[in-house]
């Protein structure tokens, strides 16, 4: 793909940091915003990443940094996939070509990256809680803290944590600024009554009238004009919904305002900075993907993109050699649902990412997007299961963490047959540590009655979907990675597996490698390398971390000098359970050499998936080295 020349940005070129914005006229700030939008498009076209959200807040980003004294004033972006313009303005413009790459800029805000990132984020609905913490810290004398400003989208506002924070902030009455960035579009169209409420706030009135009312916000005008402004504001509120939820929660409400109108933004933000005393919410209406036609017309507003042509928007993607695990899951679930009308699917604001958009097209009444509300989603599934339905709770591993108490209390404790389909298991590449599925094996396998499976390839995933559909005796989970499968032959239909039974892949001698999940392909590659050295490992696929295949594991231990487990998860998971089993059966007393290969006890920063697994020590070369080490093959023999 031919790289488009960098845009002309004469004013932006003069901006080394936010302080430089504060010396510009309002007219110049509008030009900076235009140049910043072009620069953001150009930067993401070279690296890929989250585009639409950032384009929607370009004017807001410029205005916030121009009005407030960042980094003393704490600017906190919820989720923070909209933070690329913020990064460009805060001294990181020259590094944007490293975005989401190894040793480069994170795709999200990150405290260790810049003082302008006071709080790290990548999961939704956290910003108001964090900002309130900064505000209380400021008032208790914590040094170096000014205003606290949270920018949260309408999608993230569907998360219950955001309302917990609003309620607490309204109670404390601390000076706190919350900006609702309302683009009527999260990653998926925001769902539920709250979204309808926000839409009604401005749906029935001429937008210019609402904007004018916002410019004359009550309390920010000279005394003689305040009464008229107050009457106009109350009249407009009465014409829409007869009051505002935010004011009931203790916030002063300003808006809706045009989030792309620099004059409006600067006027409102300056007034708020000068006059606000307690918590205030500014409701700004924006357009996701603003200023880049392909993003504006995309169904997701250009949320995430590979490298692309700036002129056409065409993305540069390598051709796929195998179906993605996500697609295999979705197709397999649809096969099961076609034969069982009790099967329902639930996701938390990620229908496209989990493949449930395909399920919804065919089974619209049996597919539910609960919004960014994983806790509710899990307990909703528990209720569905208790009612006699067969719910598939389809959530990324990293997001399922948010519903852990519900998994324990509402599902496992009651032995309800909720099926957890865990996408993005293991390391995920450019999104880095915040989205890695590192902990689900451990946090699920220690729950009584929970069945935990991991697919070694796409054919195994199809069988595991069928297994989950057929399993009614308590909760069951299966995990699968991001990206393409290994290209194996797919069965036409999945067949239920025997619970707690693994499979032998290759018979060998001396050392056995017991794989759990999608590292099996790397294990097989390591075996080929070892066979060239005259070492022929036994390879088995555990399939289940809970319950373990006791007979298989104990037989491997009995027949081999050494046993190595491998998994795409943190310590405390599959390998730890195998070690416990071996210890309880006194296997170590007879001299078995045991090693467990897991993700290291660090958060691994973004890189390509292969590089991340190399950093984790879980690629075929690492497996080969571990086998040689456990067998006592010295360095000279390894090099021979």
Closest CA to 618 of 526, 531, 500: 526
C-alpha 600/C-alpha 617 separation (Å) is 8
Q: Is the pLDDT score of 241 beyond 70?
A: no
pLDDT of residue 478: 98
Rg (CA), the chain: 27
What per-residue confidence (pLDDT) applies to 49? Answer: 84
The pTM (predicted TM-score) of the whole model is: 0.85
Q: Which among 290, 402, 482, 543 is annotated as catalytic?
A: 402
Instruction: Please pick, among 288, 290, 424, 479, the residue that the annotation labels catalytic.
Output: 288
pLDDT at 301: 67
Give the residue-averaged pLDDT of 219-226: 45
Which residues lie closer than 8 Å to 501 by C-beta, 6 or more apart? 543, 544, 549, 552
CA dist 555 and 562 (Å) reads 12
Q: Is 374 a catalytic site residue?
A: yes
pLDDT at 237 over 50: no
What number is the average pLDDT over the span 258-287?
91
Average pLDDT, integer, range 309-338? 85
pLDDT of res. 229: 44
> What average pLDDT does the segment 554-580 reach?
97
Q: What does the pLDDT look like over 616-635, one tens digit per residue?
A: 999 999 999 999 999 998 64
Highest-pLDDT range among 156-165, 215-224, 531-540: 531-540
Nearest to 511 by CA among 628, 591, 590: 628
pLDDT for the residue numbered 609 = 86
pLDDT digits (tens, 9 = 90+) for 324-339: 999 999 999 999 999 9
Longest distance between any two alpha carbons in the chain, whole Å: 92
Q: Is 402 a catalytic residue?
A: yes
**Average pLDDT for residues 370-387, to the nearest whole number?**
95
Digit-coded pLDDT (tens) for 568-587: 999 999 999 999 999 999 99
Checking if the pLDDT of 212 tops 50, the result is: no
Percentage of residues in the chain having pLDDT higher than 90: 68
Amino acid 520: pLDDT: 97
> How far, in Å, CA of 488 to CA of 545, rounded?
23
Given a cut of 70, whether residue 306 has pLDDT beyond it is yes
Q: What is the pLDDT of residue 295?
A: 77
Beta strands in 221-315 (DSSP E): 252-258, 279-285, 304-305
How many percent of the chain have pLDDT more than 70?
A: 87
Across 392-412, average pLDDT:
96
Residue 640 has pLDDT above 50, yes or no: no
Q: Is pLDDT at 615 greater than 90 in this prediction?
A: yes
pLDDT of residue 635: 45
Q: What are 435-480's pLDDT values in tens digits?
A: 999 999 999 999 999 999 999 999 999 999 999 999 999 999 999 9
Question: What integer is the mean pLDDT of 251-261?
Answer: 87
Catalytic-labelled residue, pool 39, 184, 336, 374: 374
């Amino acid at each position: 793909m031919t790289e488009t020349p960098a845009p002309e940005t004469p004013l932006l070129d003069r901006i080394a940091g936010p302080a430089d914005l504060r010396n510009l006229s309002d007219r110049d700030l509008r030009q900076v915003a235009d140049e910043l939008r072009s620069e953001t498009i150009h930067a993401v076209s070279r690296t890929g990443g989250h585009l639409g959200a950032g384009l929607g807040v370009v004017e807001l980003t410029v205005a916030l940094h121009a009005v407030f004294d960042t980094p003393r004033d704490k600017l906190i972006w919820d989720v923070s996939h909209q933070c690329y313009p913020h990064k460009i303005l805060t001294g990181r413009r020259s590094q944007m070509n490293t975005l989401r790459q190894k040793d480069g800029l994170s795709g999200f805000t990150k405290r260790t990256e810049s003082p302008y990132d006071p709080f790290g984020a990548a999961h939704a609905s956290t910003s108001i809680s964090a900002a309130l913490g900064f505000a209380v810290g400021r008032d208790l004398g914590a040094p170096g803290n000014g205003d606290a400003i949270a920018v949260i989208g309408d999608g993230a506002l569907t998360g219950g944590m955001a309302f917990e924070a609003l309620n607490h902030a309204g109670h404390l009455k601390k000076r706190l600024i919350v900006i609702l960035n309302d683009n009527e579009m999260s990653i998926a169209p925001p769902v539920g009554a709250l979204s309808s409420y926000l839409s009604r706030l401005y749906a029935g009135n001429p937008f210019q009238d609402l904007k004018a009312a916002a410019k004359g916000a009550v309390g920010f005008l000279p005394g003689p004009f305040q009464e008229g402004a107050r009457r106009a504001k109350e009249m407009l509120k009465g014409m829409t919904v007869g009051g505002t939820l935010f004011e009931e929660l203790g916030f002063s409400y300003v808006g809706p305002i045009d989030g792309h109108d620099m004059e409006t933004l600067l006027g409102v933000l300056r007034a708020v900075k000068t006059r606000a005393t307690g918590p205030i919410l500014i409701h700004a209406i924006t357009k996701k993907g603003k200023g880049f036609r392909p993003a504006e017309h995309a169904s997701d507003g250009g949320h995430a993109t590979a490298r692309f042509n700036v002129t056409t928007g065409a993305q540069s993607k390598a051709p796929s050699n195998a179906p993605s695990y996500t697609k295999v899951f979705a197709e397999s679930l649809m096969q099961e649902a076609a034969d069982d009308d009790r099967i329902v699917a639930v996701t938390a604001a990620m229908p496209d990412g989990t493949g449930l958009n395909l399920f919804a097209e065919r089974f619209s009444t049996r597919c539910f997007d609960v919004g960014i509300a994983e806790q509710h989603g899990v307990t909703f599934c528990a209720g569905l299961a208790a009612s006699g339905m067969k719910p598939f709770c389809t959530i990324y591993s990293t997001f399922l963490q948010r519903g852990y108490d519900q998994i324990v209390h509402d599902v496992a404790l009651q032995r309800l047959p909720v099926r957890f389909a865990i996408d993005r298991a293991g390391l995920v590449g450019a999104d880095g540590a915040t989205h890695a599925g590192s902990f689900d094996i451990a946090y699920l396998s220690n729950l009584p009655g929970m069945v935990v499976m991991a697919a070694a390839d796409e054919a195994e995933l199809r069988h595991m979907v069928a297994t989950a559909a057929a399993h009614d005796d308590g909760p069951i989970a299966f995990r699968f990675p991001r990206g393409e499968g290994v290209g194996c032959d797919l069965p036409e239909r999945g067949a239920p597996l025997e619970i707690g039974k693994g499979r032998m892949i290759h018979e060998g001698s001396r050392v056995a490698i017991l794989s759990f999940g999608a590292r099996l392909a790397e294990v097989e590659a390591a075996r080929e390398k070892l066979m060239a050295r005259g070492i022929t490992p036994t390879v088995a696929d555990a399939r289940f971390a809970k319950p373990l295949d006791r007979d298989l594991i104990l037989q491997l231990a009995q027949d081999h000098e050494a046993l190595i487990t491998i998994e795409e998860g943190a310590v405390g998971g599959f390998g730890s359970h195998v070690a416990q089993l071996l210890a309880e059966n006194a296997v170590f007393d007879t001299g078995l050499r045991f090693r467990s290969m897991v993700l290291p006890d660090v958060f691994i920063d973004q890189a390509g998936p292969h590089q991340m697994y190399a950093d984790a020590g879980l690629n075929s070369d690492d497996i080969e080295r571990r086998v040689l080490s456990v067998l006592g093959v010295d360095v000279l023999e390894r090099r021979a």
